[in-house]
Structure 1
Amino acid sequence: GGHETVANVLHEMGDLMDDISEYDEAVNYFSECLDIRKERLGEDHEDVAETLYSMGFALHNQGHYEDSLDAFDEALSIRRDKLGDNHDSVGDTLNIMGFVQAKRGELDESLRLLWDALRIRKLNEDNLKAADTLKNIGNVHREKQEFELAIECYEECLRIRRSEVGDEHEKVADALIA
């Protein structure tokens, strides 16, 4: 239908605005898309979760961490309900929520979310995403002055990235300069 097409274009515009750092515009496009998708598809549709997830990033990029977490949390509920607790999109959502909580200084909550994300990513054998989450966990331990734990996480991240992509890859360099 026409309304889905409009919603899809609004979502793409939101993504584009987020990419070029026009975060206010991005949030506006996502909000409009969200209204249409909720009305047409229902509050708990996967496409609604996708828009909430994207909107969460734009809100995060604006520095609106609370609103960002609200959007991610709503996306998380839908994704768990529709796709199951161990779906990769649930892991993605938990990972970004953990990242945002760390930025807010909520380090214990951050670790709880990130460990859950890591569990899902390992379960789904998504090694590079698991490595990203390990780096995030390492960063939180570093912030908490728990340097031994941070080093363990960084070393595991590095080991995974090297085994997945070899030594010459920017993801390995990224782990080395964490």
Structure 2
Amino acid sequence: MVAIEQYIRDIPDFPKQGVVFKDITPLLASAEATAFCLSELLKFIEGQRIDKVVGIESRGFFFATLLANELQAGFVPIRKPGKLPYNTLKQPYTLEYGMDALEIHEDAIQKGDKVLMHDDVLATGGTARAACKLIEKLGGEIVQCNFLIELSFLKGAEKLNKYELRAMLTY
């Protein structure tokens, strides 16, 4: 067992004053910690069929691609506007420190696909909820939303209460 908390670095006042950013790059720099996290995230969805794993730009991509590979599922990136080269659907949202939007390729998910949505951190839930809306607009069925970290004091889980929600660490 790896104490992954030791690999999470707090960065005060990033990206703006008053926000304490949870930096996972030390975790990613450790092969042992990364392997441990991957095995734990896989346990969350053990025995469930997954057709697509959706990762949210950009830190959600790291484990989403690993999960997709292990699950023999497709990987689908959800990105900020203007980053995807094909036709997209767009979903605006409010996040902890402002407004933004997410996009997904319009053909990335097929009706009835069983989808695992992954991101590194669940904060206010705006980003994850926007991603879920995009998945559902394309006909995907969200099996679970999972995260490395949940910042429970920001109450993001309340915006995702209709989904199974799992996080490795809760602050």
The TM-score range, normalised by the shorter chain, is 0.3 to 0.5
TM-score of the superposition, structure 1-length normalised?
0.33
Higher helix share: 1
TM-score for both structures, normalised by structure 2: 0.34
Which has the larger strand fraction?
2
More relative contact order in 1 or in 2 (CA 8 Å, sep 6+)? 2
Q: Please identify the structure whose Cα radius of gyration is greater.
A: 1
